[in-house]
Structure 1
Amino acid sequence: MTETTTRTAPDSGTEVTLPVHTDQLRLATAGSVDDGKSTLVGRLLHDTKSVLADQLDAVQRASADRGLQTPDLSLLVDGLRAEREQGITIDVAYRYFATPKRSFVLADTPGHVQYTRNTVTGASTAQLAVLLVDARKGVLEQTRRHAAVLALLGVPRLVLAVNKIDMVDYDEATYRRIAEEFTSHATALGYAEGTVVTIPVSALHGDNVVEKSEQTPWYEGPALLEHLESVPVAPDPHDVPFRMPVQYVIRPRTADHPDYRGYAGQVAAGVVAEGDEVVVLPAGVRTRVSKVDTPDGAAPRAAAGRSVTVLLEDDVDISRGDLIAAADSAPTVTDEVDATVCWLAEKPLRPGARVLVKHGTRTVQAIVTELTARFDEQQLSSVETPESLELNEIGRVSLRTSEPLPVDEYAASRRTGSFLVIDPSDGTTLAAGLVGLPLAPLRGESAS
């Protein structure tokens, strides 16, 4: 009997029972409006038999109400009422599905340019991204913008799904032209050979989605699902140095636990074990782990993604916002941060702006001391010392924080190398920030 687990989709609350796999791929979809992202995801869910009967019945009824002869599989993903009415994806829709070879966590992100911030959210933890283009339209401005965002976030592998290939009569020349243009663009963004794959698909009819299509005899590569099942998975952040932002200090002070003092949080990177030497930042105090508690009881070790309570050998002054890290490879503690940001607000960013920076569980005041560069994702060039950053623009900034922060380079540790920029007046998110220089064109490297 196959062991199973139950997952709850964060956007819909639907519980899904999946086989337990040690091999899991986190992926995101992106693309321009009407390129067929939701239909493709719906096709994957439908053809892998990952759809509950009542969900399929609801989609069939909604499709019939629209006068459609066949189910509109995009409705399996577009779960918000506004999305169903408009036929677009607004929020990030998370879906879980599995095959006998691998389990998947998929984030379907919006295509509209004003929802680029949602694309950043969905792709921030992805190990692979499926970027769609319409075979009739080819590579568009939004395609190049999404590719730049994916490169910025360090998503290690891309799949270009040339969708609606049936609408161009399965023409090989059209597919080859689009594939070559996109591959050249992705290479300029820093993607190495072998990390970008292109596949001609028809999400509507299922060509090359789950099974190879007889309509494209000239295509010798795998179907999309076959590629997703076999692509090497980027290593989880277990083999990088331990990092855990402190969320809460636990001191029950009960008769059974009079001296208990634990530090609760989620392991952001690496592994923590009893006896490990750690450092508490930003104070810099060193100590050792005496115990690792979990909701299931004490454990000898815990890896990234696990929520734990860490007990230490010494009585150390620790509060929410501090970071417990591996002592032999601690992050840099600094109040001067150079970072790449994707500006997500209507109000432009200018030098001298006063903001809040949320890093891990700590939020501090900061001032933008300099705009170093603005990246043009269409031309793959940069403008030095721009006057401002506008909505959805990517640029380099220098920040001075009111308190020192323990930061890693984003390329080394996603969780502790990233932060949010927040408007202090109303708490809205202004930007997603990444410490370091993850995007080749912003480093002044050749885009050829």
Structure 2
Amino acid sequence: MSSDESQDPAELQMKARILELFLPPHNKKIKEIALLVNRSRSFVYHKLQELVDEGKLERLASGHIKRVLPESQIEGYSDVIKEDFDKYKSIERWIYRMKRDKVKGWAYQVTNLFKICKTLQRVPDHFLAPLEQVEQFMEEFDEKFRKGEAFYIDDKNIKKQKSREDVSIAHFVKAVRSFRQKLGHPIPKGVGGILSVTEETGKYARHKLTDTQRLSGIEFMKNQNEKHGDLFTFHNEVGWRTDTLFQTLAKGKAQFKKKIMEVLDPKTNQKVVCEIFICEGIIEEKQEMAFDKIIMTPEARRVVRKIIKGEKLIEGKADWKAKKEYNENLRRFYKSIGELSDEPDPKKGTKDYYLSEYPSHFIRHSWSHWLMRNCGYNASVVANFGWEDSETLTKIYAKQSIDDLLNIGNCDFCRPATNKDPDVKVFCCLQHAIAYYNQQEPPILNE
């Protein structure tokens, strides 16, 4: 017979209550517990000692009792799907408190902790352990992540995640920090190591290509590799992350709907017949969300027609060699227009560093600025094409300069500015951008 079975049910209930109050998130002192359970402090102290003797708590070398469950008391790992993850009591409390505190993107944080647990085959409560132990867990996760051995979620539940050049571990660390914070185990400020990793928000949010540079890039990339010219054109139009771009095109997943529309030209009071292509349903792995894409420039519409006819922009597998070749040509292009220097070891945080280390992800940043110019600098509209919210867009990807702000209200379709920058096109709304690009090259109505 176990010690629990030999004890009075009322006594077991009292012990369980004392244990609950002693551990996070309550972290009550003995005096406070005594008041809450209506017993003396010595009674509470002796019950805590019994819990130590039973292996339900641990005592430090200093004599103090640790406010964390011993490893042996933590529920063992069992393979779970995402839908069952929030059944853990600690996850339930975490979600409740994030919702209560109106934390933005709380579901994304839960998803990231789930990925960590799946990768390491651990349960959430392991991440409430002492910091030294949690740091070891995250170092192990970081190693697996960089080897491409972490997990992500798709509509079939779980797949292995390939390593990606444009993803850091910062958002996973953020999830662990939030989990501990909301459950009474905050990571103190000033803690170093892997638990101090944060997202580098805003450092590269103003880097972009002008329209003139984008068009010259198409010709440059074609001269390097005909397929890369089309790939660069399409990439600048849809802004997918590198892995999404290559996997989607290599596997022929992209499906396009052609739409014919009319836009009134206020200068002539005549309607401009326009065509656009819409691509739906492609999931960005990092965000685990699908965003619709709109293809409107003449150059990109020509590329889409090639794809529809069965031409592949990515021949063979979308492996690291294919991405490496594309990135090398991008670096050559950036150097040719003076955006990237020959500095062999650029300092982190500089434009040289970003273009050198993340040449293809830079396209996503540039694309976000291009969309802002096309949509009258309306971040709420632009966010629909690739971000969870407009705050993420303007803070991390498309931070606006004074010149951008002064361009608000100008439109190259209906009211061009007199002293405008010849290298960029700006529009008051998306419809006028579509009309402008269709005036450059009229739509093909019968195909």
Shorter-chain TM-score: which interval? under 0.3
Q: Specify which structure has the higher proportion of strand.
A: 1
Q: Specify which structure has the higher proportion of helix.
A: 2
TM-score scaled by structure 2? 0.22
Higher relative contact order (CA 8 A, sep 6+): 2
TM-score scaled by structure 1? 0.22
